[in-house]
Chain A
Amino acid sequence: MTVDAVIVGSGPGGSTAADVLTAAGWSVVIVEKGRNHLLDPDDLTRPAADFSNDELKFRARHFLGPDPLVEPRTFRRSEADGDRTVVGEVNSVPSTVGGGGTHADGKVPRFRPDDFRLLDLLGPQPGAEVADWPVGYDELEPYYTEAEWSVGVAGAAGANPFAGPRSAPYPMPPGPPMYGATLSAAAAERLGYHPYPAPTAANSVPYDGRPACNNCGFCSFFGCPIHAKGDPVALLRRALGSGRAELWPESFVSRIRVSGRRATGVDVVGPDGTTRSVGARHVIVAAGAVETPRLLLLSDLDHPLLGRYLMCHFQTLAAGSLPVRTYAERGRAVTHVHDDMIVGDAAARTAAAGAGLPWLRGGMVEHAGAALPVLEAQHYPWGPAHPRLMADSPIRARLWAFIMQGEDLPYAHNRVDLDPSVRDARGFPVARVTYRPGPHELVASEHYGPRLAAILTEMGAEWTSVSTSPGRGNASSPAAVPESRHNMGTVRMGTDPATSVADPTGHLHGVDNVVVADSSVFVTSAGYGPTLTLVALAARAAHLLAGTGPPDPAPARVSPAPG
């Protein structure tokens, strides 16, 4: 068979491409290596009834995949560590229909105009390859708006004083603020920061045929049982409802077949282990910033920079216990964020100068609590103290925390390549991640960590503690692997084939019909979760491919809703 496009991956990027291309009349096949636990196969407008409020299933037993025993990755901090120091779970984003959208709690901020042009505005950083994006905020803005309306984002336009200009409001108002966040937002404001309701892809009102979120609290790392989270359910439902898209779960694309400057299709290993070839006029790769370079390497689509500039967000966590319960098990996991620590101030400039850096940037700060008792219990020691600690609950029921998604600069030494000997259960080489934070990330974290702790103290915290991920443990500890699942940058986008792997439309340089439609193409990592930006970029790439973009400022493909 031959289709207009094969799309590799059913996460936010691939689902966006499928939605835009099918709306333009294209026939597509979405190939997803994980299972379908998202959509009822008999009625794609309904949830599959597989998701649930079950900590064991989602946090302990790999329900969303990938299972590290059959689909491991490997990790090392640098070549000096040898071939690898960790085999298993490394920067895993779900391997399931819906991809990373299934487990995310749906915070979907836009980047700001400055984030696309750091080199122009701030200049270079020694050791890093900071570059400007070939696409700016103004060009991306209509696609951001389209993404917010097609996924369904609840937010408050104008609430963030640092935000870029918008051509349309959010389609829904914010959901209810979590109790703990009302305390932390007030404390942050007293200290001069500017918290605002997190733009969230969870319905605050019924929208696009899906119900409002009912605040169950099993959000971050859990699939939504009622499809209140729109990313990428809304996109997939519409694409599949067009009648022009097929979804193939449990199917692994092992190779893109290339002849000269053109891809002719892909090889797909099906659920029964047999391989078949599918012809395609275009191949859209949206497997995430670790699996996408892996597939391109498996396909011999090599480029000296392929896999380089991996960025993950160096996270700084400030935590403390309040004298009261914070009720973080109720609501959307995170309802407030602030951007002050990306924007910077005089103190940040002084800290950078004192460390010999030209500048530094932190990241968006999430106001968050803790909700999961198994995870909590495993952090306490065993023995007679255990029941008392669980009842007193300093690190769950009374915990509050700030998580800064620190902007990783792009370094050539942080990369994805193929592990020389570790294989997945299908027999293919797995992705190896080589990653360590650079001086910029460490200095930014050391500058902002105590300032985050100071907000907790202002809230009345009994104690505070600041840590980072990755931590500073030994190389073979899982703690050496970054907690962040915000993988970006391994197929850098740019105009010059000597310094980038993909062109400004997402096409691989030198290949006419392979388009990368995920966060692999990011040039820098900003300090924001990548989802909305990758959705906007994927929509732009698909519109350009189909000749249908850019969209009108007034969103057309979703029925209007209150907001």
Chain B
Amino acid sequence: MPVWLTEDEYRVLAAACDRLIPATAEGPGAVAAGVPDYVDGLLGAFLVDPPRIWAGGPTSGRRGGDAAFTRFHSLSALDELAWRMRIEGSAGHAEREFNGPVVGLQEQVRTGLAGLGADFAAAPAAEQDARLRADPAFTEVLYRHACEGMYGAPEYGGNREGVGWRAIGFEGDVQPRGWTDDEVTAP
């Protein structure tokens, strides 16, 4: 169940993510890694309190220490202004328009998904790729976030159980263990 997008929009998003980072012999694709949930979670970041913007610290628990990444930071008033502008856009709020109107991610993604077409998920792969290439600005935004969701910390909703990291041999966060001097110099 998506938290911000409609189920129809989420289906198009998932199909698009699957073309951006497809499953191959090298590893799972964007859908298996939860990338659509990462994108949807960012669009709906303010539906939870504290908003899911910055994971906590200093450790995730994956290499010892507490599972503190799950405790998201609270935002200051200035932080909240910035992130509401980024996600929701200025939406007519005067205090968000000190340099003019801002189009937020929600509107960019909703409009972009609509442009891909309601039948996008059922279209042949070549047709899907052609539609993605027809809107390079939106596809760039989507791909940037798909990469974040594929290889960022799992607490943000993507990279489910670290599958993105495992596929590329990346260890992820390593505090508090770190690396020994030998592992640094003579791996």
Contacts and interface: CB of A to CB of B under 8 A. Distances in A.
A124 to B, nearest CB: 41
Interface string B89-132: 00000010011001000000000000000000000000001001
Contacts of B12: none
B171 A176 contact: no
* Range class of the A interface residue count: 35 or more
Contact of A178 (B77, B153, B172, B185): B185
B34 interface: no
Interface string A346-386: 00000000000000000000000000011011100011101
Q: Which of A62, A374, A376 has the most CB of B within 10 A?
A: A374
A216 B179 contact: yes
Contacts of B47: none
A226 B175 contact: yes
A327 to B, nearest CB: 5
Contacts, number: 191
B99 A216 contact: no
A271 B174 CA distance: 34
Contacts of A214: 175-179
A168 B153 CA distance: 44
Q: Which of A215, A422, A427 has the most CB of B within 10 A?
A: A215
Interface stretch (A43-51, A230-238, A454-462, A512-520): A43-51
Given A70-B81, A387-B27, A391-B27, A331 B179 contact: yes
Interface string B27-64: 10100000000000000000000000111111110000
Interface residues of B, number: 68
A378 B54 CA distance: 20
B22 interface: yes
B1 interface: no
Contacts of B165: 373
A550 interface: no
B184 A327 contact: yes
A215 B184 contact: yes
B102 A49 contact: no
A382 B139 contact: yes
Interface in A177-234: 177-179, 182, 213-218, 225-226
Contact of B98 (A57, A175, A226, A423): A423
A386 B27 CA distance: 11
A72 B99 contact: yes
Contacts of A374: 147-148, 150-152
A136 B89 CA distance: 52
A36 to B, nearest CB: 10
Contact of A50 (B24, B57, B173): B57
A89 interface: no
Contact of A35 (B20, B24, B76, B178): B76
A250 B59 contact: no
A397 B169 contact: yes
A225 B171 contact: no
B68 A390 contact: no
Given A56-B156, A387-B29, 5 more contacts: A70-B78, A176-B181, A176-B185, A374-B150, A393-B168
Interface of B: 19-24, 26-27, 29, 53-60, 68-69, 73, 76-79, 81-83, 85-86, 95, 98-99, 102, 129, 132, 139, 143-144, 146-148, 150-153, 156, 164-165, 167-181, 183-187
Query: Nearest 8 A-B pairs (CB), nearest first?
Result: A214-B178, A52-B57, A53-B173, A377-B147, A225-B58, A176-B181, A67-B82, A373-B151
